[in-house]
Each structure stands twice: as structure tokens, then as C-alpha cells.
Chains A and B, each alone.
Chain A
Amino acid sequence: MSRLDINKTYKLFIAGAFPRSESGRVYEIKGANKKFIANPAMASRKDLRDSVVAAKAAQSGWANATAFNRGQILYRIAEIMQGRSEQFVDEICALEGVSNKAAKIQVAEAIDTWVWYSGWCDKLSSVTGSLNQVSGPFYNFTTPEPLGVVAIFAESKPSLLGVVRTLAPVLAGGNTAVLIASESYPLAAITLSEALATSDIPGGVVNILTGKTAELAPWVASHMEIDGVDVAGLSKKQEEELKLVGADNLKRVFRFAPTNNPERILSFMEQKTVWHPIGL
């Protein structure tokens, strides 16, 4: 008789820990072959609020880490993911129903995406800040700073790359994140959280929730301590509803082209301008 596999319980990732949903709810995920794969947690409004509390608490520590340090930590995530490549490949194959080759390409691209954004951390000010030539005896400079807490609705497919290319730029800019995994393709996000937990990223900097997008989106929209939202995984209608309610605290809401671009980092940053007189 062949050995029975040990199946994994897929849980949430909040404040560096792996809790189940406080609601006790789960939902069923089936693979491309229609067979049962997992019962991930169905996060509630309370889980979302707990995640924002964790993200808010972790924000200043992450923002005040040196950019070089943040870059190293993002690079470290790539290192950890490289070691777990096979696990990501297997899950992508089972869930997305793509070939092993296609899954490998996706995982490689996801890992390289971390490396690309890692290198941006300590170049943002040089490339996008400025020393402004004002007409007077003043030293005047502009430099980007993180927005705060950013919520991300990850794309469905590619399920791993869709998570990484939304999450990495948010972290590179010094924000902390609450990522809501794709409802139908959540496994890559959860397994990524396990990689994050063993990287050097401080608890609370990334929080990952699984569950019903339509249930969580309105709570994200109305949460006053969420400063920005990447709506990659929302429908046009859901995006419009989120923007309408999100106007209450003027959330910065964006949807990007599916490419890597520093604008993904900068859109979730504020530009600060400082003046000081020059003289004796």
C-alpha cells in the first residue's frame, strides 16, 4: 500500500503568525482536475481589521529601515522562494492546470520580480526625487516617502506572479501590505506567506487573507486606515464601488498594466518637499 500524503492546512498570515479565520469559516478549492485540494480560511471583516492593525503597527519600523536593508530583505525572499520552487510549481500545475514548463517559467519570473524590486529600494530618491532650483536663497528638495498601509487584491492568474508583482513594489516603497488572495487561485499566496515567514521580513509588514473578494472589498473600501489599494484582482464594477466609498479618506486607488515598472512603487508613495533658508 502506498503511503498516504500529509495534506497541508492552508491558513491566514497575520502579524507574522498563521491563524485560522476568527469566523471559523473555510471554503473549498478544487484543482484543474475538479478534485478537492484544500479548505483555505474564509477571512472575515474582523480578520481584515486585525490585518490592518498589524500592518499599521509594522509600518514605521519598515519605513524607517534603511532602503539598503529593505532591498536585502526583498532579495532574501527571492532566495527562500528559489529553494521552494518545486512546491510552487506543483501547486500552480494542480490549481491552474498549466504544464510543468509553464509553471516553472512563472515561478522563475516571480523570483526575478523580487530581485528587480529589491534593487529599486535604494534608488527611488535618486531617480524620482529632486533638488529644486527655486528662485531664492533656499535649499529645496523633494523625496518620496511611503504612503502607509496598502491593500492589494491580487490577480487570479498567473497565480504566483500575480501576487508577487503587486506585493513587491508596495514593500519596496516602505509600505506595509494587506493582500487579499485571489478567491479561486489562493494557494500561491498562502505558500508565499510561508516563504515570507522564513525570510527576514518583520511580522505585520505583509498580511495575507484568503476568502470571498466580494465580501471583503467593501470593508477594504471603507477602512479609514487603509491608504492605498491595488485593484488588480477586482472587476471593473468592484473597482468603481471601492473608489466611490474609498473617497471618504481619499484612498489612492490604482490598476496597473501587467508589467514591472517603478511607477507601481511610486504610485503608493508621497513626494515630500522640504525648504530651508541658505544664509549666515
Chain B
Amino acid sequence: MSSFEYASAPESKAIANIASSYGLFIGGKFVEPKKGKSFNTINPATEELLSKVGYADKLDIDAAVKSARSAFTKVWSKLPAKERGKYLYRIARILQERAREFAVVETLDNGKPIRESRDTDIPLAAAHFFYHAGWADKLEYAGVGNKPKPLGVVGQIIPWNFPLLMLAWKIAPALAAGNTVVLKPAETTPLTALLFAQVCQQAGLPDGVVNIVTGDGITGAALVNHPDINKIAFTGSTEVGKAIARSISATKKSATLELGGKAANIVFEDAAIDEAIEGIVNGIFFNQGHVCCAGSRLLIQENVSDEVIEKLKKRMSLIRVGDPMDKNTDLGAINSKEQLKRIHEISNTGDAEGANRWSPECKLPAKGYWYPPTIFTGVSQSHRIARDEIFGPVLSVLTFRTPAEGIEKANNSMYGLSAGIWSDKGAKILWAAKQLKAGVIWANTFNKFDPASPFGGYKESGWGREGGRHGLAGYLASDAKASK
């Protein structure tokens, strides 16, 4: 049978307008780092230089925190809540207006398919601002007492997997609750955050309410350890999350930590298999598997496992890997050389420990960082590929016989961020959802996100929630907690 090949459908880069260099965004202005240092940000799909951005050190962090503190005391906390909300609405609208530009820059800087940045990242980021804008003058109904108060200055550190979306998850609720922020984007994906700084300027947001400082882990540590920060909000690895928890253990700082995961995606024998296959593919290959809640452990009930694996392999053969700017691309570039190295390192332990690797035939581009969609079958619970977060397009497949065994295997992890359930029986779905130790359960769906829906993990997947009323509460002071 002949088949029709997809013709390439590249998105234009023309809309991007990336400057050759960016300073730090402090006090409403772009300023040069005090020591004049900068670093490169590249396109991981081509390894081409995109721009040079300022490297913030301790002195710059101090300036940013001072600017945020001053904006908090003098302006933002005095503004009527209704007016605060209007600024957020403005930001949401500008993000919608400039959505295509943001999507293109996100894809160039991150390597994710343009289809995902265009249809998921950017619209959701705008939606987060729109949702939280409405909260600004309704905080007394958020379930944290009659007179909820902001915390003050919040230090926020975000990862490279959903750069603008994670920024929105952090900044929108913080501002709605009346806090001011200093945000550090990830080292490899600073551009949409710097573009966002321009959005703040266009929205007329008072100077210093949002400060964006670019840099690396040392920059982040300086932010965490700054004495005038009231709260840290961090999304990233469990390892760094624990280090932050230690750093703030002797301070008054509070923290929200959204950390790693090793989600079980459980397929019961009565699942609608074709739908489950789509869910499995979306669960692990969405965003190259650079997703903390990725369904990276597939648990299949034994009597349907052959069928599921066969269909999954067939479906994986149709995944289009390549140019992220092509609108037909499903799997884009791995975000960085370091991440690619890590994916290789952990995946190679799968071979060494005796699991069976399989990838469809696919041509990877010569330049840039790439990893083919991969599954390992014959994985056992003690294998490193069943325990460690790979953060790449690599799926570990395990099987189970009884529902109870499936749940036990699913919960056998230090993580507890998310889980998936595939079954056509309502009672079984609700039973499984109750048994699973995870903060987000997707039943007969996977990787769905919404500003109204709380997100966050059990166990070592972190502290607190983001999104919804529960996420908002993390940015408001509680009078039930003892003042330290």
C-alpha cells in the first residue's frame, strides 16, 4: 500500500525579532549585569547562537530583590486589588496578541515542536494570567481567612521544559495575591522570559513588581539565600528541591516545590486499547518527555500486554522526529547537550541491566541534540530506568497481574506527582484513583493542564500545589501558622 508523506510545513522565524543581547530586567528597565558577564543561548535543534543574555550574580540579585521590595512596599501592596487585577488582564491580553511571536521564540530556544508551543504552552500561559487576574479582588473568598495578606517578595526559579508556561504558573498567582517577584528563568531557555519583561513594560506594570534575572544554578542559589526573600517557588529536580529545603531550614522563608516524577501509566485489561495507545504516546513523548509528570512507567495488565506493546510500537513508528519549526513535527530536539548526555546515561543502564530496548527507525538530524522515541520492555521495578526520572522520550514498560499488584507497583516510587489510569469501568477508575499516591491523576487521558486545576505532588515530588484555589493559597499568609 502506498502512503502519502507529509510535506514540510515550516513556521517562519521572521516574527521572532530576537535581539543580539539582553540585559537583566530590574526595576522596570533592562540593565547590564554589574560585572558585565553574559552567556549564550542557542537553538538546540541547530546549535546556532540565538542571543547573549546577562549573567546575574549576587550583586544583581541584591539589586533585583531591593527593587521588588521597594515596589511591594511603596506601590503594589497599596494598589486597590481591582487595579492589580487589571494589570494581570492586560498581561494576558498582550500575551494573546503576541502569541505567535512567543511560540516561535519558545520553539527556537527550547527545541519543542512549534505545534506544542503554539497550541499548548503559549495559550495556557495567557490563560493562567487571565484566570488569576480574576482572583486579585476576590482573595477573601479563597479559603484562607477573611483578610488574606500577601507574603511580600517571592523568589521564583523555573525549569527549561515549559519556559513561558512555568513563568506564568509562578508570576500570575504571586502577583494576583499581591506579592512582587524576582524570577530566574532556566539557563538554557531565557528568551521568552525576557520577552515577557517587554510585555510587563507594554502593560505599564509598575517598575519592580516583576524582575527577571538570567543566570545559572549559582544565580538561583543567590536568590534562594537572599535574606529579604519571603518565599521561594521552585520547579525543577528533586535534588535541587531538597537543597533549597535545606538552605531555608533556618529561615522564615516558606516554599512551594514542584519537583520530579516517575509517573505510572496503568493500562487495565478492560481499557479501550486504541485510546490508551494515544494516551501512552502523549504521556511520554509530549515535549520530548521533558515533563516532570510524564507517564514514564507504563504498567500493563499482563493479559493485554502483548497487544498493547505491539500497537504501541506501530504507533511509535508514525512519530515524526525532526525540525521543531515544522508544523508536522511530533518530537523535537532535546533541550541541551547536558540533558542528552543524561538521557543516554540513564537509558544505557536499561541495556546494561537487561531490559530490551526498542526504537522505530528514524533519521535524526546531523546537527543539534536528538534522541529517538524509545521503549524498554522486560523492565523490573529495581531497574534504574524504572526508578530514576529520565526526562526524555524513554518509556519503561512493566506488567502486573491483579489490580492490587498494579497499584502497589505504581506506588513503589519516591515520587508521587502524577499517574494515569486506563479502564472502561467507572468504579475501578475511582478505586484506583483513590489508591494511587500521586497529586494529579489522569483517568482515560494524560498530560492535561489548566489554570483552574491544582497541580503538584505527594512524597518527594514536592511541597504545595500550583494552579486553582489551592495554588493561590501558597502565595497568601496564613494566620493559623505560628509566626516564627
Chain A residues packing against B (C-beta within 8 Å): 127-128, 130, 132-136, 138, 140, 142, 145, 227, 236, 240, 243-244, 246-250, 252, 254-259, 261, 263-264, 267, 270-277
Q: Write the nearest CB–CB distance from B339 to chain A, whole angstroms.
A: 24
Quick check: B455 and A257 within 8 Å, CB to CB? no
**Stretch from B9-17, B203-211, B459-467 at the A interface:** B459-467
Residue of A132, A145, A244 near B468 (CB, 8 A) is A132
Quick check: A142 and B445 within 8 Å, CB to CB? no
Q: Given A255-B482, A256-B482, A273-B439, do A247 and B452 touch, yes or no (CB 8 Å)?
A: no
Q: Given A247-B246, A261-B480, do A275 and B241 touch, yes or no (CB 8 Å)?
A: no
CA distance A249 to B461 in the complex (A): 10
CB contacts (< 8 Å) of A249 on chain B: these are: 414, 459-460
Q: Write the nearest CB–CB distance from B258 to chain A, whole angstroms.
A: 12
Q: Number of residue pairs across A and B with beta carbons under 8 Å?
A: 118
B:176-227 near A, CB below 8 Å: none
- The chain B residue sitting closest to A252, CB to CB, is B463
CA distance A142 to B440 in the complex (A): 9
B:393-416 near A, CB below 8 Å: 414
* B81 interfacial by beta-carbon distance below 8 Å: no
Quick check: B453 and A247 within 8 Å, CB to CB? no
CA distance A133 to B452 in the complex (A): 6
CA distance A128 to B455 in the complex (A): 15
CB contacts (< 8 Å) of B444 on chain A: these are: 276-277
Q: Given A254-B481, A256-B482, A257-B481, do A275 and B455 touch, yes or no (CB 8 Å)?
A: no
Quick check: A259 and B480 within 8 Å, CB to CB? yes
> 9 other contacts beyond A258-B482, A263-B478, A276-B443, with CB at 8 A cut-off?
A135-B127, A227-B459, A236-B484, A240-B249, A240-B250, A250-B242, A250-B245, A257-B480, A271-B456
Quick check: A255 and B245 within 8 Å, CB to CB? no
Quick check: B458 and A273 within 8 Å, CB to CB? no
CA distance A248 to B259 in the complex (A): 13
- The chain A residue sitting closest to B416, CB to CB, is A270
Q: Is the interface of A mostly helix, strand, loop or mixed?
A: mixed
* B351 interfacial by beta-carbon distance below 8 Å: no
CA distance A130 to B414 in the complex (A): 27
Quick check: A250 and B481 within 8 Å, CB to CB? no
Residue of B238, B246, B441, B463 near A275 (CB, 8 A) is B441
- The chain A residue sitting closest to B418, CB to CB, is A273
Quick check: A244 and B249 within 8 Å, CB to CB? yes
CA distance A252 to B453 in the complex (A): 22
Quick check: A274 and B481 within 8 Å, CB to CB? no
Q: Write the nearest CB–CB distance from A275 to chain B, whole angstroms.
A: 5
Quick check: B465 and A271 within 8 Å, CB to CB? yes
- The chain A residue sitting closest to B275, CB to CB, is A277
Quick check: A274 and B470 within 8 Å, CB to CB? no
* B35 interfacial by beta-carbon distance below 8 Å: no
CA distance A243 to B468 in the complex (A): 28
* B378 interfacial by beta-carbon distance below 8 Å: no
- A-B pairs with lowest CB-CB distance, top 3: A247-B245, A263-B480, A243-B249
Q: Mark B407-446, 1 if CB is under 8 A from A, else 0.
A: 0000000100000000000000100011000111111110
* B454 interfacial by beta-carbon distance below 8 Å: yes
- The chain A residue sitting closest to B446, CB to CB, is A275
- The chain B residue sitting closest to A231, CB to CB, is B482
Quick check: A250 and B459 within 8 Å, CB to CB? yes
CA distance A255 to B480 in the complex (A): 9
CB contacts (< 8 Å) of B462 on chain A: these are: 250
* B99 interfacial by beta-carbon distance below 8 Å: no
* B469 interfacial by beta-carbon distance below 8 Å: yes
CB contacts (< 8 Å) of B259 on chain A: these are: 250
Q: Given A249-B460, A277-B445, do A271 and B484 touch, yes or no (CB 8 Å)?
A: no
Residue of B238, B245, B441, B459 near A273 (CB, 8 A) is B441
**CB-defined A-B contacts under 8 Å, sample of 29:** A132-B452, A132-B454, A134-B453, A135-B450, A142-B453, A142-B454, A236-B484, A243-B245, A243-B249, A243-B250, A244-B249, A246-B245, A247-B246, A247-B249, A248-B242, A249-B459, A250-B242, A250-B463, A252-B463, A255-B482, A257-B479, A257-B481, A270-B458, A271-B465, A272-B439, A273-B441, A273-B468, A274-B443, A277-B445
Q: Write the nearest CB–CB distance from A194 to chain B, whole angstroms.
A: 30
CB contacts (< 8 Å) of A263 on chain B: these are: 478, 480-481
Quick check: A247 and B242 within 8 Å, CB to CB? yes
Q: Write the nearest CB–CB distance from A121 to chain B, whole angstroms.
A: 17
- The chain B residue sitting closest to A244, CB to CB, is B249
CB contacts (< 8 Å) of A227 on chain B: these are: 459
Residue of B452, B456, B460, B479 near A134 (CB, 8 A) is B452
CB contacts (< 8 Å) of A136 on chain B: these are: 448, 450
Quick check: B440 and A273 within 8 Å, CB to CB? yes
Quick check: B468 and A274 within 8 Å, CB to CB? no
Quick check: B439 and A271 within 8 Å, CB to CB? yes
Q: Write the nearest CB–CB distance from A40 to chain B, whole angstroms.
A: 27
CA distance A182 to B433 in the complex (A): 39
Q: Write the nearest CB–CB distance from B148 to chain A, whole angstroms.
A: 13
Quick check: A130 and B468 within 8 Å, CB to CB? yes
CA distance A136 to B420 in the complex (A): 18
* B88 interfacial by beta-carbon distance below 8 Å: no
Q: Write the nearest CB–CB distance from A113 to chain B, whole angstroms.
A: 15
Residue of A250, A252, A255 near B241 (CB, 8 A) is A250
